[in-house]
């Protein structure tokens, strides 16, 4: 995925590209990062949604059954970094190649601190709310979805 911005002269300038790495990190309940796998390039970015400070992208992990994931990128000053990832690893999440439009992540929407993930196979839309992570050992605040 490449992000571009419209310039005053109506031309486009590249801002950044996703992913910058195929390694996927998620946030554990205690706010600490956890490596959860590697992205499968052929299943990256079939759905994308964004607001001013967040970009969410569908993906799959390079693992048996290619579990679906939603990777979350956040703007940190002038750069964009992977902030979190949400996965669906239960047996109901398995999506064979012909049924991917029914998978976790079939549709995405982001608005302020809310993220909606469509999951037609499960007849649901899953809602996630960004939460503030408590101060870490380094004394800095962080936000994760």
What is the DSSP track for 52-64?
A: SSEEEEEEEBSST
CB 115 within 8 A of CB 127: yes
What b/e string do you get for 73-91 counting C-beta neighbours within 10 Å, with b at 16 or more?
Answer: bbbeeeebebbbbbbbbee
CB 87 within 8 A of CB 68: yes
pTM over 0.85: no
User: Quick one: which of 63, 68, 69, 72 has its CA closest to 19?
Assistant: 72
Alpha carbon distance 40, 63 (integer Å): 8
pLDDT band (50, 70, 90) for residue 44 = confident
- Mean per-residue pLDDT, 137-145: 45
Q: Mean pLDDT in the chain?
A: 82
Among 59-68, 82-91, 128-137, the least confident range? 128-137
Whether 92 has a pLDDT exceeding 90, the answer reads no
Residue that has been written with the tokens 């979190």 in this structure? 84
SS3 of residue 105 by DSSP: coil
């Amino acid at each position: 995925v490449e992000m571009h911005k419209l310039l005053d002269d109506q031309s486009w300038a590249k801002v950044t590209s996703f992913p910058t790495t195929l390694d996927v990190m998620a946030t554990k309940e205690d706010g600490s990062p956890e490596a959860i796998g590697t992205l499968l390039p052929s299943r990256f970015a079939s759905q994308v949604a964004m607001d001013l400070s967040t970009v969410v992208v569908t993906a799959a992990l390079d693992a048996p059954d290619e579990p679906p994931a939603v990777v979350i990128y956040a703007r940190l000053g002038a750069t964009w970094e992977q902030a979190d990832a949400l996965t669906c690893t239960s047996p109901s999440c398995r999506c064979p190649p012909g049924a991917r439009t029914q998978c976790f992540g079939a549709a995405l929407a982001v608005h302020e601190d809310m993220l909606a993930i469509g999951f037609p196979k499960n007849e649901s839309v899953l809602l996630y709310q960004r939460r503030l992570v408590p101060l870490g050992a380094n004394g800095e605040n962080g936000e994760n979805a």
